[in-house]
Amino acid sequence: MITLSGIIGSGKTSLTTLLSEKLGTKAFFEPVDDNPVLPLFYKGNEIAAEKRANGDKEATNPYAYLLQTFFLNRRFAMIKKAMADDNNVLDRSIYEDEIFMRMNTDMGNATRVEYDIYKSLLENMLEELPYAAHKKAPDLMVMIDVSYDTMIKRIKKRGREYEQLENDPSLVEYYHTLLKYYDVWKTEYDASPLLIIDGNKYDFMTNEADRQTVLKMIYDELLKLGSIDDNKHAELMVDLNA
């Protein structure tokens, strides 16, 4: 099983789709369009930032804990399904979920009590995962590492209104802060092997040569880890160069 990670707009969904097609397997996608809490969360961030700017230093986002609990529950269910069979690809996983709750707590959007409860729930889920999914961890985590400018360009391109800077200026600080937390996360992640793709250098969504380069990097890593054998690697390379 391959899991994808990366900041908003990094291209996780596109690479998940591409990998699942090339490997002939199932893709599991992060719940966004059917998430009733996400638009409320972005509005809550805006309201909390405005209150703090007006002197209410204790103002929090009332939807931060609700959103992260929603995501945690969905990601736990999703990774159990993805791990039940071989060769599946997962668009963002439970392993990076804590980034968002930790950041929202540090930014004042969630309380320390909410964070402690969330962390306890996450730890319990991770302890149960090998029993529920019959697999200890992913075979490979692929992180798409992008800069702020690249992220903003891709966010504008996909056009979700609640993600746009012109609709919520407080997102500038939020996105910059999130990038810093991802920089820390990629140095701390140890649940499985980690392959970092330079999403600024390789535009695998629109450039065919970059797409082939990124896929080859992943195939080579899977071969090195023993997740695929020489025959499968050769087969994938023939398809890649066809």
Residue 197 confidence (pLDDT): 96
Q: What is the pLDDT of residues 201-216, one digit of tens each?
A: 999 988 999 999 999 9
pLDDT value, residue 98 = 92
Band (pLDDT 50/70/90 cuts) for residue 41 is: confident
Yes or no: say if 222 and 228 are a contact pair by the CB < 8 Å rule.
yes
Nearest to 131 by CA among 179, 198, 83, 60: 83
Asked whether residue 24 is marked as a ligand-binding residue, the answer is no
How much of the chain, in percent, has pLDDT values that exceed 70? 99
Does residue 30 carry a pLDDT above 80?
A: no
Average pLDDT of the residues of the chain:
90
Q: Any known ligand binding at 158?
A: yes
Fold of 2-241: Rossmann fold (3.40.50)
Select the more confidently predicted residue: 185 or 29.
185
Q: Note the pLDDT of residue 56.
A: 86
Residues 77-123: tens digit of each pLDDT = 988 888 887 779 999 889 999 999 999 899 888 999 999 999 999 99
For residue 31, the model assigns a pLDDT of 63
* CA 235 – CA 125 distance, rounded (Å): 37
**pLDDT for 165-223, tens place per residue?**
888 887 898 899 999 999 999 999 999 999 999 999 999 988 999 999 999 999 999 99
The residue extents of the domains of the chain are: 2-241
pLDDT band at 59 (very low <50, low <70, confident <90, very high): confident
pLDDT at residue 32 tops 70 = no
Alpha-carbon span 136 to 15, nearest angstrom: 23
Residue type, 214: V
The catalytic residue among 34, 56, 91, 190 is 91
Annotation-wise, does 106 bind a ligand?
no
| Residue 11 assigned ligand-binding role | yes
pLDDT of residue 33: 67
Say which residue, 126 or 135, is predicted with more confidence. Answer: 126
How much is the pLDDT for 179? 95
Examine the residue annotation and report whether 168 is marked as an active-site residue of this protein: no
pLDDT of 229 higher than 80: yes
AA identity, residue 74: R
Find, among 160, 144, 130, the residue nearest to 195 by Cα.
144
pTM of the model: 0.87
